[in-house]
Amino acid sequence: VVGALGRHLVLVGFMGAGKTTIGREVARSTERPFVDLDEEIERRHGPVTDLFAQGEEDFRRIEEQLAAEVLARPEPSVLALGGGAPTSPATQARLAGAFTVWLPVDVEDAWRRVRQTGRPLAADEGSFRQLFDRRLAAYELVADAVAHDVDGVLHAALAIEVGRGARPLELAGPTALVADERVLDLHEPPLDTVVHRVRAEKTLAVAEELWAALRVPRDGTIVAFGGGSTTDLAGFVAATYLRGVAWVAVPTTLAGQVDAAIGGKTGLDLGGKNLVGAFHFPRRVIVDPDLLATLPVEERRAGMAEVVKTGLLAGRELWSLDETEMIAACAAYKASVVLTDPYEQGRRAVLNLGHTFGHALEAASGYSLRHGDAVALGLLAALRLSGLPEDPVVELLSPQPARVDPERAWAALQRDKKRRNGELVVVLLDSPGEPRLTTLPDAELRRALDSLIAG
Residues recognised as catalytic: 243, 265, 306, 334, 344, 348, 352, 355, 359, 371
Q: By CB under 6 A, name the one of 25, 36, 299, 362 that touches ligand NAD.
A: 299
Q: Does 186 bind ligand NAD (CB under 6 A)?
A: yes
Task: Give the integer Cα–Cα distance in Å for 283 and 260.
Answer: 15
Residue type, 54: Q
Nearest to 380, CA basis, from 453, 436, 434: 453
- In the beta sheet, which residues pair with residue 79? 10, 35
Q: Does 85 bind ligand NAD (CB under 6 A)?
A: no
Strand 434-438, strand 426-431: pairing: antiparallel
For the bound state, the minimum distance from the C-beta of residue 278 to ligand NAD, rounded and expressed in Å, comes to 11
Distances in Å between the alpha carbon of 120 and those of 41, 134, 265, 329? 15, 17, 48, 37
Q: Does 226 bind ligand NAD (CB under 6 A)?
A: yes
Q: Does 291 bind ligand NAD (CB under 6 A)?
A: yes
Compare residues 101 and 292 and give the one whose CB is closer to ligand NAD: 292
Q: By CB under 6 A, name the one of 22, 302, 308, 332 that touches ligand NAD.
A: 302
For the bound state, the minimum distance from the C-beta of residue 202 to ligand NAD, rounded and expressed in Å, comes to 6
Overall size of the chain counted in residues: 455
For the bound state, the minimum distance from the C-beta of residue 280 to ligand NAD, rounded and expressed in Å, comes to 10
Q: By CB under 6 A, name the one of 40, 259, 288, 416 that touches ligand NAD.
A: 259
Candidates 119-127, 258-266, 317-325, 427-435: pick the segment binding ligand NAD (CB under 6 A): 258-266
Q: Does 324 bind ligand NAD (CB under 6 A)?
A: no
Q: Does 143 bind ligand NAD (CB under 6 A)?
A: no
* Binders in 379-418 for ligand NAD, by CB under 6 A: none
Candidates 85-93, 104-112, 253-261, 431-439: pick the segment binding ligand NAD (CB under 6 A): 253-261
Nearest to 6, CA basis, from 277, 239, 287, 281: 281
Compare residues 169 and 255 and give the one whose CB is closer to ligand NAD: 255
Q: Indicate if the alpha-carbon torsion angle 295, 324, 389, 352 is positive or negative.
A: positive
Q: Between helices 297-314 and 323-340, what is the axis angle to 10°?
A: 50
Compare residues 36 and 299 and give the one whose CB is closer to ligand NAD: 299
Q: By CB under 6 A, name the one of 36, 180, 288, 362 that touches ligand NAD.
A: 180
Query: Cβ contacts of residue 198 below 8 Å, gap of 6+?
Result: 178, 179, 180, 181, 206, 209, 210, 226, 230, 233, 234
Q: Does 182 bind ligand NAD (CB under 6 A)?
A: yes
Q: Does 253 bind ligand NAD (CB under 6 A)?
A: yes
The size of the interface with ligand NAD (CB under 6 A), counted in residues, is 28
Task: Give the integer Cα–Cα distance in Å for 221 and 247.
Answer: 5
Residue type, 383: L
Nearest to 6, CA basis, from 333, 343, 347: 343
For the bound state, the minimum distance from the C-beta of residue 137 to ligand NAD, rounded and expressed in Å, comes to 39
Task: Give the integer Cα–Cα distance in Å for 171 and 267.
Answer: 24
Query: Cβ contacts of residue 73 below 8 Å, gap of 6+?
Result: 8
Nearest to 282, CA basis, from 327, 320, 338: 338
Residue type, 176: A
Return the DSSP state at 260.
I
Alpha-helical segments (H) within 280-390: 297-314, 323-340, 355-364, 371-386
Q: By CB under 6 A, name the one of 35, 85, 169, 255 that touches ligand NAD.
A: 255
Q: By CB under 6 A, name the one of 27, 214, 295, 361 that touches ligand NAD.
A: 295
Q: By CB under 6 A, name the one of 193, 240, 274, 451 that touches ligand NAD.
A: 274
For the bound state, the minimum distance from the C-beta of residue 340 to ligand NAD, rounded and expressed in Å, comes to 15
Q: Does 309 bind ligand NAD (CB under 6 A)?
A: no
Q: Does 203 bind ligand NAD (CB under 6 A)?
A: no
Candidates 108-116, 226-234, 321-329, 386-394: pick the segment binding ligand NAD (CB under 6 A): 226-234
Compare residues 101 and 332 and give the one whose CB is closer to ligand NAD: 332
Cβ burial of 388 (10 Å; 0-12, 13-18, 19+) is middle
Q: Does 311 bind ligand NAD (CB under 6 A)?
A: no
Nearest to 294, CA basis, from 182, 372, 371: 182
Compare residues 52 and 279 and give the one whose CB is closer to ligand NAD: 279
For the bound state, the minimum distance from the C-beta of residue 99 to ligand NAD, rounded and expressed in Å, comes to 22
Q: Are 227 and 215 in contact (CB under 8 A)?
A: no
Candidates 34-42, 287-295, 396-404, 447-455: pick the segment binding ligand NAD (CB under 6 A): 287-295
Q: Which residues bind ligand NAD (CB under 6 A)?
A: 180, 182-183, 186, 200, 202, 226-230, 232, 252-253, 255-256, 259-260, 263, 265, 274, 291-292, 294-296, 299, 302
